[in-house]
Chain A
Amino acid sequence: NIVMTQSPKSMSISVGDRVTMNCKASQNVGNNIAWYQQKPGQSPKLLIYYASNRYTGVPDRFTGGGYGTDFTLTINSVQAEDAAFYYCQRIYNSPPTFGGGTKLELK
């Protein structure tokens, strides 16, 4: 099975900063990646699918990129409400493996 590895495991940044988090697939997955946001005590929410397509209603400060094995999620001008865990997911084929997550904390 394809393994998804996210880095860093956690990061602490200030409101207004730009942040980039990474997701690496153990094999080429093309653009078959989704990103989710999960705030404490809440269920996950879809942000990005097919690596760079922003889901309906997601603010345009969230941008996904990458292809093949290396992917990024960038948040421009981070807001306080962006504090959460972020998960990447390999999609299109089974099993749809999730990465271990990146915790984003605000200073």
Chain B
Amino acid sequence: EVQLVESGGGLVQPGRSLKLSCAASGFTFSDYNMAWVRQAPKKGLEWVATISYDGSSTYYRDSVKGRFTISRDNAKSTLYLQMDSLRSEDTATYYCARPTVVDYYVMDAWGQGASVTVSS
């Protein structure tokens, strides 16, 4: 069974940093691209970033470019999201998601989410 388990969420002040982790199991992690998708409270879904299966390519939405860094450790089957210079508008539940093999952006497995609140 595919499992994605996020951790590292919490309350953080504006301008500070936070790092999310996603532990993957039930599939060969190193074969898949991976992604982060977020959802602000009572709002819709918003793609944040994607990383290729080997970590050689990364893609970000404009609003997080230069502030967020997606990375992975295939030996540990773990995905990361380093979030710097956090803003109130980054407050959301952050989902770790696995794209399908047929498309970079179709997500066929999701974690339960990690809550991030940016507030003073």
- A contacts, CB < 8 Å to B: 34, 36, 38, 43-46, 49-50, 55, 87, 89, 91-101
User: Does the CB pair B105–A98 fall under 8 Å?
Assistant: no
Distance, CA A23 to CA B3, complexed state (A): 30
Residues of the A chain whose Cβ atoms lie less than 8 Å from the Cβ of B62? 95
Which of the segments B14-22, B41-49, B73-81, B84-92 contacts the partner chain?
B41-49
User: Does the CB pair A91–B106 fall under 8 Å?
Assistant: yes
User: Does the CB pair B108–A36 fall under 8 Å?
Assistant: no
How many chain B residues touch the partner (CB < 8 A)?
22
In-complex Cβ contact of A89 among B59, B61, B100, B105 (8 A): B105
Distance, CA A55 to CA B37, complexed state (A): 20
In-complex Cβ contact of A98 among B46, B50, B59, B106 (8 A): B46
User: Does the CB pair B45–A36 fall under 8 Å?
Assistant: yes
Chain B 85-116, CB within 8 Å of chain A: the 1/0 string? Answer: 00000000001000010111111101111000
How far, in Å, is B42 (CB) from chain A's closest CB?
A: 11
How far, in Å, is A8 (CB) from chain B's closest CB?
A: 15
With A49-B100, A94-B59, A95-B61 given, is the CB distance from A44 to B107 under 8 Å?
Answer: yes
Residues of the A chain whose Cβ atoms lie less than 8 Å from the Cβ of B37? 44
The residue in chain B whose Cβ has the minimal distance to the Cβ of A98 is B45
User: Does the CB pair A91–B95 fall under 8 Å?
Assistant: no
Distance, CA A19 to CA B15, complexed state (A): 45
The residue in chain A whose Cβ has the minimal distance to the Cβ of B112 is A43
Distance, CA A98 to CA B61, complexed state (A): 12
Distance, CA A93 to CA B103, complexed state (A): 9
